[in-house]
Chains A and B, each alone.
Chain A
Amino acid sequence: MNEPQHHPFAQSISRRTFCRRGIAGLSLLAVGASVSLAESETGDTSHHGAVLVDLTRCIGCRACENACLVRQGYPGLPPASFGFGPGDGKLTFKSRTFVDFREVSAFDGQMRQVPIKRQCMHCLEPSCVSVCPVAALEKTPRGSVIWRDDKCIGCRYCLLACPFGVPKYEWGNALTPRVNKCDFCDDRTAAGLLPSCVGACPTGALKYGKHDEVLQEARARVAAQPKRYVTLFGDHVVGGTSWLYLSDIPVEQLGLPTNLPATPMPGLTWNWLAKVPYIVIGLGLVLSGVSRLRSRKEHHG
């Protein structure tokens, strides 16, 4: 309030203002720097685990589904429900994976049932990990996307954001509702074991390996029999997934989503979010300037 009246321009920036702006600017630069550093954090995926699902080799026995239930500590599938037939028909809080039986029209015009195992795709750049405000979802060094009980606040943004509808919420739990999703048996793969479902597969329809090799294998199989393998899913969709599907059925008949971009989904948000530090700096400076001009005018004019 009591600024010197005689030399309007002698103290164009007071020490206090200078310090204030300086501190604000430096902290913002720090934020910007950390943000841009973190952007380059997305390392290479060559050490990530991946699974090739060759649906032409799947007999729909649901041994994978059973193994997953057993690993989670549930009793396995009742014996009568092994083999073909409608199961739950969707992922639920209990089932991290299930075998979907799709009615498709075969080459001879007849309808037939084809099995397709569904589970978390373990995207190379997962939407769920990018949206979680508290890092309760994370991608481990083995490429598994896992959910952490200790951090989750139950906001359910991961359920909204997942393009494959994978995370499931424990709606009935009033105090500590959990999110359940396939964790790619991260504890097992860390110990050098196969994921439960892959280990249970009797026909070799599921093949676990390093992401590069699995992708190469998938492309080799397509190249060997291009007429047979009309579908390779997971090499491009949302920037690539750790689970890759090969099939002789067109992708839209398999119930896999066909309306997803080929670029990683988190980029859609990041394009905007990366600009935020500049908006903060720019707007902060402009408003400080305006405020200073207006107050000077008020005192001198």
Chain B
Amino acid sequence: MGEMDFVLILFRVFAALFMAGLAVIACWFLEGRKRPQSFSAAVVGWGFLITLWGLGGYAFAARYTLGLGAVTNLTDAFPWGIWKATVLCGIAFAAGGFLTACMAYVFRIRIFTPILRPIVLAAYLCYTLSASGALIVDLGRYYKIWMPIVSWQHRSVLFEVSWCVMLYTCVLSVEFAPIVLQKLGWHRLERFVHAITVPFVICGVVLSTVHQSSLGSLFLIVPEKLLPLWYSPLIPVLFFLSAIVSGFAMAIFVSALAFWIFRRPLDPKVLTTLAKGMTPFLMLYLFLRIADLTARNAWADVFAYPLQGFSFTMEMLLLTLPLFVLLKTRWSGRRRWAFAAAIPVIIGVILNRLNVAWIGLLPATGSHYFPSWIEIIVVLNLVSFGLVIFGLAARYLPLFEHPDIARHAHSSNAKDGEEVVAELEPRHV
């Protein structure tokens, strides 16, 4: 073992200790700068985060000193692994951000105002951590991530996606800024940001439409590699529709969980309205998907490839079963069923992204890629960063105090909720 190896190992250990220390600080702040209430909760919660971040520190250090070949199971035949898949999953999950903003700011469905901030924050975190974070780990020359700004190649889908992600992150910053400005008490700037929000939201919806679908278009160029169960000329449309479905599900999931964990009252109609909104898009998606598979005669592959067939079946079941809940009116009016329907939808869309970027590419590339522990730890770390930052924001920022909530409650009393729901129906116009 050379001297250099020793230095590198020392560096990894140091990084692990550093990240573990950060985890301690994060836990301390999450607890509200107090000692944890019970010892066992501290051991489980703190211990889990400290271990995860410690391993993460080791993993990040190893990746940046040893290179992708040493820490991942990627090969020339299988060059995109779960870090790229994380980008696809994270962005699909973040679709709730543009969807809720569109409904609240463009369609002005006021019932969604209270959940706007938690969802925008969740989407913001998804974008910064999965799109930018995972890419900075995944790119071989991560320090050149800005290159698409100066070196244009507009025939590349990835070029378009990178521009959309950059611009949409700016849009999310504008949507997120009032939360920080309200905390800082910079009210003039807050009002200014509020005034320019609607055009920004419209830009955000347009950008999201384009790049959610373009994440599917990334795979249009590999008809010989991606299994026909997932390869389709319609893949951009399918990606866009599934992103909308996932956006509704994410909005249900995030708002239900955030309001429940941080003990805030939430109008149950919010969740059921979101579930009602999700239903037609889910039906349309499944109809298109099945029609497309039938038209291309791709069903035989379900039985020809055991792993891919299983993964495909799981994906379709996860997306189909909630439909029965959503279509049964006795259930769909209840928020716990709305929540229960959202979870398999989220997992189903994530599985779809994993299938497209990973499982469906295995047979034709003749590879048996499975992520290394470092790849998995890095993904888990990115997810945990998101959860911790969300937790800290919920504790220290006015995440649940949108100024419009008070204003509307004041102007139209308690009936507000009912009226706004009624606005969804055209007969009330």
Contact = CB atoms under 8 A, between A and B. Distances in A.
Contact of B221 (A134, A136, A161, A284): A161
Interface in A122-166: 127, 130-136, 151-157, 159-161, 163, 165
Interface stretch (A6-14, A65-73, A212-220, A256-264): A256-264
Contacts of A130: 155-156, 221
Nearest to B240: A279
A272 B211 CA distance: 12
A35 interface: yes
B155 A273 contact: yes
A112 interface: no
Given A34-B154, A259-B224, A272 B217 contact: yes
A169 B76 contact: yes
Contacts of B80: 156-157, 160
A265 B221 contact: yes
Contacts of B69: 171-172
B158 A268 contact: no
B140 A287 contact: no
Contact of A290 (B63, B76, B107): B107
Contacts of B218: 157
B164 to A, nearest CB: 10
A157 B159 CA distance: 11
A219 to B, nearest CB: 26
Interface stretch (B24-32, B170-178, B199-207, B283-291): B199-207
Nearest to B106: A291
A174 B158 contact: no
A132 B140 contact: no
Interface in B193-238: 198-199, 202-203, 205-206, 209-210, 213-214, 217-218, 220-225, 233, 236
A167 B70 CA distance: 19
A156 B79 contact: yes
A253 interface: no
A283 B155 CA distance: 21
Contacts of A280: 206, 210
Contact of B108 (A133, A266, A279, A294): A294
A153 B139 contact: yes
- What is the predominant secondary structure among interface residues of chain B facing chain A? helix
Contact of A268 (B107, B199, B213, B223): B223
B67 A177 contact: yes
A110 interface: no
A174 B65 contact: yes
B66 interface: yes
Most chain A C-beta atoms within 10 Å of own C-beta, residue among B77, B79, B210, B236: B79
A280 B210 CA distance: 7
Nearest to B147: A134
Contact of B64 (A132, A174, A265): A174
Contacts of A152: 140-141, 144
A159 B158 contact: no
Interface string B161-193: 110000000000000000000000000000000
Given A269-B157, A272-B236, A127 B162 contact: no
A169 B159 contact: no
A257 B224 contact: yes
A27 to B, nearest CB: 12
A161 B157 CA distance: 12
B102 interface: yes
Contact of A291 (B105, B148, B155): B105
Given A131-B157, A291-B198, A269 B220 contact: yes
Interface of A: 20, 34-35, 38, 93, 127, 130-136, 151-157, 159-161, 163, 165, 167-177, 257, 259-261, 265-266, 268-273, 276, 279-280, 283-284, 287-288, 290-291, 294-295, 298
The 8 closest A-B pairs by CB, nearest first: A154-B140, A171-B69, A174-B67, A159-B79, A133-B158, A177-B140, A133-B159, A156-B79
